[in-house]
């Protein structure tokens, strides 16, 4: 592993145009469970049902219970992996982060250019009357009731602006992600099983354009074979080591 970390640091030292792609795994050490993987949520819930548009419309209460059990009660904070990436942006190596996560932990850690492929919890829309809520308002409601209700029209369909199963990905974010991937000279995947479309697509694209592909993940993925450097382990341990190594190499 040390050898691989050194190789990545050597690559980054030349300040290539670096794009980081993150999945749920990067937030695991912040206490947010992943869906897949050995300790994933899949064993307890069926996210494809709970977090699908039809499932939500059938049973919004079940969705909010899921939120309470995952994001909400944890008050999750960024972990060393999020901070390492924002540090790499500050020293002008990482140009953007493409994420499938909806937890906003990259932004909390100081990353500025974050492309959210699956939206985020920042805003919540009333599907019935169109009223828009800030997440904090909904969070308050959830302290008193399991099922938040629209103040204006009493609808029970308050949906966070996250992309549910059965919904298309946001066009603008997709476009930006594509542009960034095409520009990248180094493309780093962190904490993604690379099975959800379009996650699997991006490393291929980057590779086609000649980028160096790096994988940092706890478990092997189906796409391991296309990566130039693979480091298996916890993102929160590996990424800070890369930053440290890079600093040593650059002599500060």
Nearest to 159 by CA among 148, 173, 171: 148
Residue whose C-beta lies closest to ligand NAD: 25
Q: Which does 102 bind (CB under 5 to 8 A by kind): ligand NAD, Zn ion, none?
A: ligand NAD
User: What is the C-alpha to C-alpha distance for residues 133 and 114, in angstroms, rounded to an integer?
Assistant: 22
Q: Which does 34 bind (CB under 5 to 8 A by kind): Zn ion, ligand NAD, none?
A: ligand NAD
Place of tokens 């990545």: 8
Taking the mean position of all CA atoms in its chain, how far away is CA 31?
14
User: What is the C-alpha to C-alpha distance for residues 146 and 72, in angstroms, rounded to an integer?
Assistant: 12
For every residue of 186-233, DSSP letters joined together read: EEEEES--S-STTTTHHHHHHHHTT-EEEEEESS--TTGGG-SEEEES
Q: Which is nearer to ligand NAD, 168 or 210 (CB)?
A: 168
Greatest Cα pair distance, the chain, in angstroms, is 61
Q: Which does 241 bind (CB under 5 to 8 A by kind): Zn ion, ligand NAD, none?
A: none
Q: Which is nearer to ligand NAD, 147 or 196 (CB)?
A: 196
Of 82, 106, 118, 201, the active-site residue reads 118
Helix/strand/coil for 91 = coil
Q: How far is the CB of 128 from Zn ion (least distance, A)?
A: 5
Q: How far is the CB of 211 from Zn ion (least distance, A)?
A: 45
Does 201 participate in catalysis according to the annotation?
no
Q: Which does 80 bind (CB under 5 to 8 A by kind): Zn ion, ligand NAD, none?
A: none
Q: How far is the CB of 232 from ligand NAD (least distance, A)?
A: 8
Q: Residues interacting with ligand NAD, by CB under 6 A?
A: 23-25, 27-29, 32, 34-37, 40, 100-103, 118, 191-193, 195-196, 217-219, 221, 234-235
Tokens for 210?
A: 């000649």
Please identify every residue annotated as catalytic: 118
């Amino acid at each position: 592993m040390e050898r691989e970390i050194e190789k990545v640091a050597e690559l980054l030292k030349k300040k290539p145009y670096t794009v980081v792609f993150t999945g749920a795994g990067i937030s695991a050490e912040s206490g947010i469970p992943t869906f897949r993987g050995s300790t994933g949520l899949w064993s307890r819930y069926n996210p494809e049902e709970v977090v699908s548009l039809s499932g939500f419309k059938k049973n919004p209460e079940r969705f909010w219970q899921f939120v309470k059990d995952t994001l909400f009660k944890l008050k999750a904070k960024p972990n060393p992996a999020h901070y390492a990436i924002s540090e790499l942006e500050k020293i002008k190596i990482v140009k953007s982060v493409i994420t499938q996560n909806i937890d906003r932990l990259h932004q909390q850690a100081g990353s500025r250019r974050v492309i959210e492929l699956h939206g985020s919890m920042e805003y919540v829309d009333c599907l019935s009357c169109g009223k828009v809520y800030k997440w904090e308002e909904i969070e308050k409601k959830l302290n008193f009731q399991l099922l938040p209700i629209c103040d204006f029209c009493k609808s029970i369909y308050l949906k966070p602006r996250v992309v549910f199963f059965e919904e298309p990905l946001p066009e603008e974010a997709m476009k930006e992600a594509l542009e960034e991937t095409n520009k990248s000279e180094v493309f780093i995947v962190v904490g993604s099983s690379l099975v959800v479309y379009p996650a699997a697509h991006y490393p291929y694209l980057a590779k086609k354009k000649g980028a160096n592909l790096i994988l940092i993940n706890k478990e092997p993925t189906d796409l391991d074979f296309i990566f130039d450097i693979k480091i298996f382990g916890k993102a929160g341990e590996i990424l800070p080591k890369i930053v440290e190594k890079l600093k040593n190499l650059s002599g500060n």
